């Protein structure tokens, strides 16, 4: 029982990736009001929970309807993870992430200097990258 709980918890922790999403959330909502941040967090959490539950209940039926076996899906997921790990080993992913972060930060700085800080000027980040990060 505990083994299943720990395995499920680790899987959800890796899928949700709170440590990877937190800095993105901090940068993208810098200067926004606490109410705006709270709304983004609640909307992202609710959306993520609905997506996880939806796939938990109808995931197998969807794969069967598409004619994809569970083993083929696992193999494709393993290949995808291997390619991501390969990018990480050669630091291509971190270079892209740093470049994207710098571009966003530069654009965000220019916008915040030219306009007053109003919440409706911030993008709705609750769905992407918060609820569906990758």
Domain-by-domain residue ranges, the chain? 30-131
Torsion from C-alpha of 52, 30, 124, 85, nearest 10 degrees: -40
Confidence of residue 119 (pLDDT cuts 50, 70, 90): low
pLDDT for 34-71, tens place per residue?
999 999 999 988 998 898 899 989 999 999 999 999 99
Confidence of residue 90 (pLDDT cuts 50, 70, 90): confident
Residue 75 confidence (pLDDT):
96
Residue 57 confidence (pLDDT):
94
**Buried/exposed 11-50: b ≥16 CB within 10 Å, e otherwise:** eeeeebeeeebeebbeebbeebeeebbeebeebbeebbee
Is pLDDT of 97 > 80? no
Average per-residue pLDDT for the chain:
82
């Amino acid at each position: 029982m505990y083994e299943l709980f720990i395995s499920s918890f680790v899987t959800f922790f890796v899928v949700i990736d709170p440590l990877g999403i937190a800095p993105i959330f901090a940068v993208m909502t810098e200067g926004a009001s606490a109410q705006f941040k709270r709304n983004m967090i609640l909307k992202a959490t609710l959306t993520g929970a609905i997506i996880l539950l939806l796939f938990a209940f109808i995931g197998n039926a969807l794969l069967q309807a598409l004619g994809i076996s569970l083993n083929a899906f696992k193999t494709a997921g393993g290949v995808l993870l291997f390619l991501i790990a390969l990018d990480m080993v050669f630091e291509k992913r971190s270079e892209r992430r740093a470049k994207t972060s710098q571009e966003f930060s530069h654009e965000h700085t220019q916008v915040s200097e030219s306009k007053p800080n109003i919440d409706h000027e911030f993008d709705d980040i609750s769905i992407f990258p918060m609820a569906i990060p990758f």
